[in-house]
Amino acid sequence: MYQLLHGLSIIEASSFVASPTAGLYCAQMGAEVIRVDHKTGGLDYDRSLLTAEGRSLAWENLNRAKKSVAIDLRSDEGRELLVELAARAGNLITNLPERSFLGHAAVAERRPDLVSVRIMGWHDGRQAMDFTVNAASGYPLMCGPEEWDPATAPPVNQALPAWDFLTGAYCAFALLAAIRHRDLTGEGSEVRVPLGDVAMGTVANSGSMAEMLYRGADRERLGNSVWGAFGRDFVSRDGVRFMVAALTEKQWSGLVAAFALADDIAALEAELGVRLDGDLPRFDHRHGLFALFQGRAGTLAWHDLSARLAAEGRTFERYRTMYEAARDPQLVTNNPLFGPSPANPSGFAYPAARSFANIPGRTAGDPRPAPYLGEHTEEVLAERLGLTQAAIGDLVQRGVARLSDRD
């Protein structure tokens, strides 16, 4: 954790992936992020996988370094508390509908310079989630083996909810941009970020939308090949599958040297009557090149082949299962991204990620644990709303507030 956002307080009323991610990134940079949930936990509180103690590992990691307030959000009194907390903080991240008690206008009545960032489904108000947005984007129908029949082949979904994480990151950026605008002008902002717009905007920004319209058709499936350049998975003599890619001439020449294929490629060029001296010709004639590279890979053990690739400074990596990756010294154990396991509510000790950004000369500090649900209810209601211990006790007694699920 860095302290670049020290002094900034944010109320987060959210569930699932995109909205908690936005708060997480802000918390990792030093902001005080107060997540407010219903007293029994939000929709994602019991998200799988649960430990034997019934703790969600997903919730635990998306809410690191935050404070937790648990109140009855189905009651008028509990909703009033959340609205007042958002107004006092002046900064709100949520994926609750705009037409709800936590709409921007309702909070801005008490705090005109409110900055709110609201994650939506689609721009027209329809609901969406990562996997349905991904279905609309076209990407699942670009994945799969090259030999599949385009007319009958099924879509291939990705396991990573990428649009959720991209939306969370964009919302953190949008929040800070709106806060900067307020600092300069005194004006608040209501920022709405539809998950679907992040997906379709990314399709456009990547050039893929223009490409399909220019083609007048869809791109073909390529299996594990890199589109428009040289790259694919290969298998070594001892059965290790790995990925290589060459997007520059330097990368290509080093790859050819590592595989010792200069003469073979020259022969292929003579046979084809072309020069394989750029991304496009190498992509167009990829099958012939793939055969050469796989033929050589099949004669070399992974230890020797990886040493050759490393000596040439090439871009390559072997495939791992996620369990292997989680235990890999280079990726995790010896990676300064990860710090010692904090006192996780689950009681399970495992590597915890710091901020993805590194600031030379500054110490990020050890990762902080996620809170227990409601762990900071008393602290926040006293400090933020000025409630007395007696008043908070009354709220707890009447079931409006919950102090902690620690026990």
The per-residue pLDDT for 341 is: 87
Please provide the CATH number assigned to the domain covering 9-204+339-402: 3.40.50.10540
Question: What pLDDT, on the 0 to 100 scale, is given for residue 1?
Answer: 79
pLDDT of the residue at 168: 98
Give the C-alpha separation, 237 to 300, whole Å: 5
pTM to 2 decimal places: 0.95
User: Quick check: 45 and 37 in contact, CB under 8 A?
Assistant: yes
Task: Answer yes or no: is pLDDT of 407 > 80.
Answer: no
- pLDDT at residue 364, as a whole number: 86
pLDDT in tens, 358-373: 999 998 889 999 999 9
* 234-243: average pLDDT: 98
pLDDT at 116 over 80: yes
pLDDT greater than 90 at residue 159: yes
CA distance linking residue 255 with residue 246, whole number of Å:
7
**Residue 118 parent element (H or E):** strand 115-120
pLDDT (0 to 100) of residue 363: 84
Res 71 pLDDT > 80 = yes
- Tell me the pLDDT tens digit for each residue of 202-221: 999 999 999 999 999 999 99
Q: Which residues contact 31 (CB under 8 A, 6 or more apart)?
A: 5, 6, 8, 9, 10
CB atoms near residue 208 (< 10 Å): 17
Q: Which of 164, 197, 264, 405 is catalytic?
A: 164
**Which pLDDT score, from 0 to 100, does residue 152 have?**
94
Just give the CATH number of 230-319: 3.30.1540
Instruction: State residue 197's pLDDT score.
Output: 98
Quick one: which of 82, 114, 113 has its CA closest to 100? 82
- Angstrom distance (rounded) from CA 405 to CA 351: 24
* pLDDT average, residue stretch 52-79: 97
Catalytic-residue membership of 197:
no
Query: Which pLDDT does position 25 carry in this prediction?
Result: 98
297-317 pLDDT, tens digit per residue, is 999 999 999 999 999 999 999
- C-alpha torsion angle, residues 384, 389, 395, 401 (rounded to 10): 60
Q: Where are the domains of the chain?
A: 9-204+339-402, 230-319
